[in-house]
Structure formats: structure tokens, C-alpha cells
Amino acid sequence: MTLDRSLADTQPVRPKRSWGWLIYLGAALAIVGAIAWATLNEIARNPARDATADLGPYGLVTIRLTTDPNPALPTGTVALGFVPMDSRQRTVLLDGISFEYGREGSDQPVGSGEAQLMSDGSGMFMGGAQFPQVGNWWVRARMTKGNAQAQVRFIVYVKPAQ
């Protein structure tokens, strides 16, 4: 078989470059960036609900605060749940938890209470608070076990009722 060199191209045929994949890559990066920004914004907006204190001979105890409703509302009583845990996330049995709360920016308490141990064996303590105004409030919880005492402080955002 003989080749006719006059029919052969001296330059290889290159397909035209497509830049459409750059549009998809840019869109994907924009979506990932928007999700990361929204997540970081939400984390910054919601204060931490875990606080750790040294309970002397019993070691470090972390209290996790929950509110019902979440976020707290300025109408009615807001249920406060306190769950004491050790470093392995196991509940710690305490003798009691008392709490007081007030407006952020002032150290004067507006109210106080004694959280009651739940009878279900979960180790959770429950109390109630009334936040009459929208905004940031602090909750200071004092835990006792034996002769040891410690306190932790939380920030609770009270959202307007819809």
C-alpha cells in the first residue's frame, strides 16, 4: 500500500479548546464559599452552650445548657436544661445546680432559681427563667458536689416573638 503524501496534513488537527469547564469550576467554588461563609456566620451568631469549671477533687466538669424554646423568647417561661458531663461526655452526678440571670452589660441579676434533678436518671437539671426583653442575657450556673463549688457563665440570645 502506498501513501499519497499530498493528502496528508503536515499539522495535526487540534480540537478547539473549550473553556466551559471553568464556568462550572467557578460556580462550584462560589457555592462552597457561600456554604462556608453561612456556616461560620451561624457559628459566630450562636454563643457556646458548653462551659467547663474545675470542681476541685472531682475534676473538670462541663455543663451543657439547653433552652426550650430555642432560641429563647421574651414571652412566658423558658425552660433551662443543665447537663453536667466529664471529659468523656458521661453525665456527672451533682448535689445541685442553682442559677441566676441578667442582661448582658450589667452584672446585676434579674432573676434566680434552683434547677431540679430530673427523675428519669439522665442527670439533667431543669429550671425556668423569664427573659422580658429581646437581646443578649447571661446565665450564671453554680454547681455543688460535696464541699466543692464552681460556677460557669453562658450567653443566651432572646429572640423577638413572631
Under a CB-based contact definition with an 8 Å cutoff, are residues 83 and 117 in contact?
A: no
Contacts of 147 (CB under 8 A, 6+ apart): 56
At residue 4, the pLDDT reads 58
Q: What percent of the chain has pLDDT over 90?
A: 22
At residue 12, the pLDDT reads 66
97 pLDDT exceeds 80?
Answer: yes
Under a CB-based contact definition with an 8 Å cutoff, are residues 61 and 150 in contact?
A: yes
Residue range 97-119: mean pLDDT, rounded: 90
At residue 20, the pLDDT reads 80
At residue 144, the pLDDT reads 92
Under a CB-based contact definition with an 8 Å cutoff, are residues 61 and 52 in contact?
A: yes
Domain boundaries 49-158, corresponding CATH code = 2.60.40.1930
Domain spans in the chain, listed from the N-terminal domain onward: 17-46, 49-158
3 pLDDT exceeds 90?
Answer: no
User: What is the Cα–Cα distance from 126 to 64, expressed in whole angstroms?
Assistant: 12
At residue 9, the pLDDT reads 58
Give the closest residue to 85 by CA, choosing from 109, 51, 131: 51
